[in-house]
A and B are shown apart, each in its own frame.
Chain A
Amino acid sequence: MTDTFQLDGATVPFEEGQTVLQAALAAGQYIPHLCYHPEFKPHGSCKLCTIKVNGRTAASCTMPAGAGLNVESDTEELNVLRSTLVQMLFAEGNHFCPSCEKSGNCMLQALGYDLEVHTAGFRHMYPDRPVDASHPDILLDFNRCILCELCVRASSEVDGKNVFALSGRGITKHLIVNAESGLLKDTDIALTDKAMQVCPVGVILKKGVGFSVPIGERRYDKSPISAQALQDAPRGPEASGNCDACEDAP
């Protein structure tokens, strides 16, 4: 017999070791999420997937599923929280969608669409984050980094390379690369690395292939992220990163 918990009134079965988010997605119940990726251990930093369990808030990606839990997710209060978090991420970085080649394939943007976010609202921080174009094949545009650590996790857990890490703390936290020069060209990153595929926004980009998919045919032009996250739960690697662009590359 499988154990179950309640999510917004629906009964969700789960297996030992699954978190609330994992079990929910597998059962066809969508909970918005951003820094979670099915291939990596969840760490719960973006807080988009916040739920209420027996009245207390928790990140559903790290919250172990438990028999009989009463989970609320699709509520006014939590959706307002999620919208505000998306707004905070937009205000924190420099997200100028019209000039970003990840536009249309970007999870942050797609979540904004789904949550009907019309503006960042807050005062924009306009941080100075120079791009790293030192590598012949790869561009790093830190302006768009949302500090989800997926590239950090992919590089260390899958590629065994540790190309990326986060530096600093608080609002000055930022992505760095594994080189004394601080430049990507002096790391051992390769185009075939998992770390190249997991960026949910437009930070890690293959050079020379931008804007290869016409507007209207990009991933999140076709259907909302809420629908797609369920279609491919657990989400496969092709669903993330700028691989839409990669696939179309000659």
Chain B
Amino acid sequence: MPTEVGLSTACLDPILGRHGHDASNLLQILRELQDCIGYLPADAITYLADKLAIPRVRIESVASFYSFLNLQPRGEYRVLFSDNITDRMLGSAELMQQMCQQLWAEPGKVSEDGLVSINTTSCTGMCDQGPALLVNGRAITRLTHQRVQEIGQLIRNHTQLDEWPADFFRVEDNIRRSDLMLDNRLAPGEVLRAALALGADKIVEAIKQSALRGRGGAGFPTGLKWESCRNAKGSEHYVVCNADEGEPGTFKDRVLLTRQADLVFDGMTLCALAVGAKQGFLYLRGEYQYLLEPLETVLQRRRDANLLGTNILGQPSFDFDIKIHLGAGAYICGEESALIESLEGKRGVPRNRPPFPVTHGYMQQPTAVDNVETFCQSVLALHMGAEKYRAIGTEKSAGSKLISVSGDCPLPGIYEYPFGVSVREMLQNCGAVNTRAVQVSGPSGVCVAESEFDRKLGFEDLPTAGAFMVFDDSRDMFEVARNFVHFFAHESCGFCTPCRVGTSMLKQTMDKVAAGHGTQYDLREIENLDRVLQTGSHCGLGHTACNPVLHTLKHFRPAYESRLKSLDFEPAFDLDGALARARQMTGRDDAGAHLKPEGA
């Protein structure tokens, strides 16, 4: 339609101008284009390809990778219900059904009047105040039947989002326990000023001495990373803050970015000083788009205070600035090399390693990628001094850790603990009773059963990126695992065969068991798939995709077995159901027109 071309052009020209017609900003350009038109029309992609001088097929390829970008028209209101198990436990499935009924919409499809499209999305990071949803990218928390009813009315009345009750969009911090990080009263730039006197080498040395390890889960020694990056040759060095907090059940970075943004940016600037970077990026997950504006404000305040920009704090040639890059719905971008690909405006596919980002990162230049919390801890470690910092936590896990507690407990929220705290102590603090299991560090982490509640958080025993989902004895651990398996299948980037096909087959098998068609044969198939995923996958997503099933099979095998048929083998589909269409077409209903289950 010619009017659409006009619309696309009218939207695109200013967007392209803002992004300097630079194809490495493709993802940001596409996000903004969609904000303008609601989806990404084919002719707009052709126009964009022409303006950016890149093949249109590349744009389509990138756009189709991110689940928040749409190549087909969506509703005027695009509603995405967070589909983490914690949302489900709070009734999200029923609420979504209610909204679909109210608005005459079918999940995954645009309503006939084009008003609304309703679907699910991976965990939006609001587990302590769920069920949650996103409407046109904006987070709404604490859904109830009444709130969903009201949302339905607002949508039906075409009420602009800005006019919706502000309370809908209120996101609580829910800080339940604070320690050195959340309690810090450091002024913005205070530690940076002290660091300037030290110089880069001594900063790296101090971080190494502090024994600080990365808080994203893997626990790589931060000082070593900074040192490698500093020593790597390159025309530029970069600092990247990984705020793509996609692991279901994790929401600590959201709180840090809300409450401690200056500490995060201090850490990034400290790192820039240490590695010699002039440019930093904060990769913010798309679900936290509402944080973009406040964070930009903080950045501007820091520029005004000469904590960013040129000659920072009067130090000649210490130039550094930070750009915020917004994700668009892809869990895999939390993997550092996939994140870098995404930063470069590409599909978020993990790279082959080696080489590692510290030598060949953003634009193939040395890049230090660290978690939001790691940057915060680096400032504290430097401020306190190695000895005092290492006195906190355990021998191999220095400092404190933020834990995002959700699920079956009266006090969900953020807890800051020194490393070494036991699962049992945490359960007591959040008031959980009759706990059956805790999923530590999200679906890719560990399912801890009651017999293991004395295990302690830390790299020695239970490493964690921060999720702590509690399940009481009313919960069906098979359904928990099935939810996680669906998550991995949805988020697999599809690059390598084992993960692309394996996660999908694992999902099929779990669904087969859920539908009552499972047998021992299927449990063996799960073990077979697990071997393939663990040994063959390209990255951690595939390596860990079977964990939820293996861990729950270990601790809660009856939850599976009670669903199994006693037979050795059962089809994955309902044989009699597969005749229904033919029965309808022939009008037959005699005995021969049915297939009984075997043995019946």
Contacts and interface: CB of A to CB of B under 8 A. Distances in A.
A/B: CB atoms within 8 Å of each other: yes
Interface of A: 43-48, 50, 57, 59, 62, 64, 77-78, 81, 84-85, 88-89, 91-92, 122-123, 125, 146-147, 162-173, 176-180
B491 interface: yes
Given A122-B505, A180-B45, A180-B56, A170 B61 contact: no
Which range contains the number of B residues in contact with the other chain? 35 or more
A3 B492 CA distance: 38
Contacts of B490: 170
B58 A162 contact: yes
Contacts of B491: 170
B354 A64 contact: yes
Contacts of B60: 165, 167, 176
A171 B501 contact: yes
Given A50-B536, A85-B532, A88-B501, A165 B496 contact: no
Interface in B495-519: 495-498, 500-505, 508
Q: Pick the most buried of B493, B494, B502, B531: most chain A CB atoms within 10 A of its CB.
A: B494
Nearest to A172: B494
Contacts of B352: 43-44, 59, 62
B65 interface: yes
Contacts of B537: 47
Interface in B44-68: 45-46, 55-58, 60-61, 64-65
Contacts of A89: 497, 501
Contact of B508 (A47, A123, A180): A123
B64 A167 contact: yes
A169 B66 CA distance: 8
A28 B77 CA distance: 61
B500 A77 contact: no
Given A47-B536, A62-B352, A180-B42, A173 B500 contact: yes
Nearest to B348: A169
A147 B56 contact: no
Q: Pick the most buried of B330, B490, B491, B505: most chain A CB atoms within 10 A of its CB.
A: B505
Nearest to A88: B501
Given A47-B536, A180-B45, 10 more contacts: A45-B495, A78-B535, A81-B532, A84-B532, A88-B497, A167-B60, A167-B64, A169-B64, A169-B330, A170-B489
Contact of A169 (B42, B493, B508): B493
Given A62-B352, A171-B494, A45 B538 contact: yes
Given A45-B497, A89-B497, A122-B505, A81 B531 contact: yes
Nearest to B528: A84
Given A165-B58, A169-B65, A176-B57, A85 B536 contact: yes
A171 B501 CA distance: 6
B205 interface: no
Nearest to B56: A178
Given A45-B495, A45-B538, A50-B535, A171 B500 contact: yes
A219 B502 CA distance: 31
Contacts of B500: 92, 147, 170-171, 173
Contacts of A177: 57
Contacts of B65: 168-169
B58 A169 contact: no
